[in-house]
Chains A and B, each alone.
Chain A
Amino acid sequence: MTPQQPLTLEQLTQAHNLAVLAPELSLTLFALAVLLAGAFFPDAAQRRLLPLLALCGVAVAAAGTAALWNKNQVFGPPDSAVYVADNFALFFKWIFLIGLGVAILISGRFLDPRSGDSHTVIGEYYGLMMLSTVGMMFVSGGRDLLVMFLGIETLSIALYVLAGFARRRLMSNEAALKYFLLGAFASGFLLYGIALVYYAVGSTAFPQIAEVVAGGPTRSPQISPTILYLGLALLVIGLSFKAALVPFHQWTPDVYEGAPTPVTAFMAVGAKAAAFAALLRVLPGAFGAVSALWHPILLAIAVLTMSVGNIVAITQDSLKRMLAYSSVAHAGYLLMGVLAAASANRQIPPQSDAAQNATAGVMFYLVAYALMNMGAFAILVYLENARANNAVASEIARTGSDSADSEDANIRVDELNGLAWREPLAAAAMTVFLLSLAGIPPTAGFFGKLYIFREAMGQGLLGLVLVGVLNTVISVYYYLRPVVAMYSQPSGAADAPLVSSEGALGAAGTGAAGALRATSFSLSVTLAIVLCAVAVIAMVVLQAVVFPWAHEASAIQASSQVTRL
């Protein structure tokens, strides 16, 4: 334990420099503004104003993050600060902001009252999404188990609510309830683990934990190391749940499928990135000294996660469910990078450069994952919008009433048949995202996998890399299935866009009404799709810039832990 330094008020004020919290504070303030605006403006104005306000918040927070880059400041007394704004945290903040920005762009249609879901709570929707992002930022910057836990709770509670935001859809309710119950359970594991670690180490701060674990592994010989290991195991279980690692992934498909699609996109990217920020700080960071203990276990988890995610994804017919399992599989690849970083640290002397490379690999992969996954979900939103429009149009044609309840069913792969003929651009963009998810060359996903596999190979994790490559091959099958469907000839009756059961009426009503309704909101969805697609392809060139950034960001974290060790 550090001795309590008597600090004067001035020193304390100086130490708690609010500028360090610029991204969090600005995003929180904008979230509050969005919430208030949601209370006072009429619905129609909200629908136009609030996304803009939220996007302003994203922009300001991104600028704040950029201003802090390389400053490496801490919030609090320098040696005992629990919150830091090192490059590692800042890089992750950008990933979260990418996720948030795209999620805001693709949310418009879902909040349309005509979709029968959520009236007048637009402010709360955007507000919760932004506050959830603030929670993710807490996780990335926390240098203490308490901050990490608090951040995970902040982001999770907001996500529980967002998952159930479509209050009139049973699947959404089920998703929220399931996510909440299992998530609360996982939080219990996490907290219990923190308590045991605190008992064994005498501190919850990562630097102190690293110090004691390297020397002890507990703070006194009377305390059995078993308690520390038990605590670590519980900690890993809690974090694995949030990152959706097998066998703690069972909630993923149901929650991803039930939640409104923009929310699914947001949590698939943000929550996963936050969980990996925590895993990187905790495992190779604080508990690097006992990595011999957890390394084999996580190795098994990585193999399981990749294999189960990919193999089960093959059998899925719902696109959303397939993407859910694919996100599980991607967590496995990411975990491979974490393991490579730990292996590099384990060597004597610690190969800090190799550890940095591996950490940077994980961070780069998360950027690529954020872009391609957001893009794929944006396409899904686009297709759902199109289908809902058609459904509404046909409903009006048939009964004259305006209620769309057909959104319950998720889009199936075979509904994509012939999409390339109706929507050539959407099909092309979807192809880009799917190829990138599969890791096929001229895309971001390829470089992500390349970096991680290369680092894992460098650390001698040959078996793991082999499993990873095999899984990539498996994944190509189910990623290409929608592509094949999109580019295959539409077969007669399936010509009715997306909803084949509708028949002639739907096809007839589509033209005028559908085109009318798709206007303003699908513009932002299209923008999101185009941005993601361009970014995914441009990453082929940009990776030469982004990877060094990630490397710079991982340097701070790795070097601080190396000196501690």
Chain B
Amino acid sequence: MAGISVTLICGGAAFVIMDPSLMVVVICHPVHSALYLVLAFLGVAVLFLQLQAPFLAAVQVIVYAGAIMVLFLFVIMLLGEDKPLPGESRLGLQLPLAVVFSLVLAAQIGYLLIRQPSRGASVAAGPVTVIGGEEVAFGSVKALGNTLFTQYLFVFEATSVVLLIAMIGVVVLAKKRL
């Protein structure tokens, strides 16, 4: 039973990644393309969850689907999206719906805050990593931090060089007047 549901989730997530990824490339409208990319990121987050890496899943949603894609959209719109700006009237039904959904979300968060699931339950459920004699859940913040800052410290630091190069490169190639 569990196996079937796992396969279903995995397949579903894979579909949710593949389909929008294709749309990102195929669709002409840059804003739609970016929104499809958000969907693909959410699919990846589901895969992370399924691999028992809740922290990575959260980071995926918050950083990629959230922050980075918002920046993308800003840039796309700044670069002159030809569509007319949506006026107040065009929001129509979306405004009340947005309020309703926000309220539902707030209620869910409140419910979870009040209910406070018992700590440790999730640790016992998944595979564990032993750090300093203490068992922590695989994919937890602690396990991730431990891997990142011990074994892969070099990789972590070296990434900064790549980011620096990318930043310089963009300025050099794209700035109108140097």
Contact = CB atoms under 8 A, between A and B. Distances in A.
Interface stretch (A161-169, A303-311, A347-355): A161-169
A222 B43 CA distance: 27
A138 interface: yes
A6 B150 contact: no
Contacts of B146: 4
B107 interface: no
Interface stretch (B54-62, B76-84, B108-116, B126-134): B126-134
A48 B165 CA distance: 24
A147 B158 contact: yes
Interface stretch (B33-41, B91-99, B166-174): B166-174
B178 A118 contact: yes
B169 A157 contact: yes
Given A35-B168, A120-B178, A161-B168, A16 B162 contact: no
Contact of B162 (A127, A154, A161, A165): A154
A134 interface: yes
Interface residues of B, number: 25
18 contacts: A6-B130, A6-B133, A16-B153, A75-B154, A80-B151, A121-B172, A127-B168, A128-B169, A128-B172, A134-B161, A135-B165, A138-B158, A150-B162, A151-B158, A157-B166, A161-B165, A161-B169, A176-B173
B152 A82 contact: yes
B154 A147 contact: yes
Contacts of A119: 178
A160 B169 CA distance: 8
B129 A146 contact: no
A28 interface: yes
Given A82-B151, A128-B172, 17 more contacts: A4-B129, A6-B131, A6-B132, A16-B153, A75-B154, A77-B150, A77-B151, A80-B151, A82-B155, A118-B178, A121-B172, A124-B172, A127-B168, A131-B165, A153-B162, A158-B165, A164-B173
Contacts of B125: none
A439 interface: no
A444 B131 CA distance: 53
B165 A167 contact: no
A147 B131 contact: no
Nearest to B160: A28
Contacts of A160: 169
Contact of A131 (B131, B153, B155, B164): B164
Contacts of B178: 118-121
A82 B166 contact: no
Contacts of B154: 75-76, 82-83, 147
A interface, how many residues as a size bin?
Answer: 35 or more
Given A4-B129, A82-B151, A121-B178, A154 B172 contact: no
A551 to B, nearest CB: 28
Contacts of A6: 130-133
Interface in A75-121: 75-77, 80, 82-83, 118-121
Contact of A76 (B131, B153, B158, B159): B153
Question: Closest 10 A-B residue pairs measured CB to CB?
Answer: A161-B169, A6-B132, A83-B154, A158-B165, A154-B162, A124-B172, A157-B165, A121-B178, A131-B165, A80-B151
A127 B164 CA distance: 10
A77 B164 CA distance: 27
A154 B158 contact: yes
A118 B138 CA distance: 50
Interface string B117-159: 0000000000001111100000000000010001111110011
A135 B172 CA distance: 19
Of B131, B150, B158, most buried by chain A (CB within 10 Å of CB) is B158
A230 interface: no
A342 to B, nearest CB: 27
B53 to A, nearest CB: 14
A4 B130 contact: yes
A185 to B, nearest CB: 13
A132 B132 CA distance: 38
Contacts of A154: 158, 161-162, 165
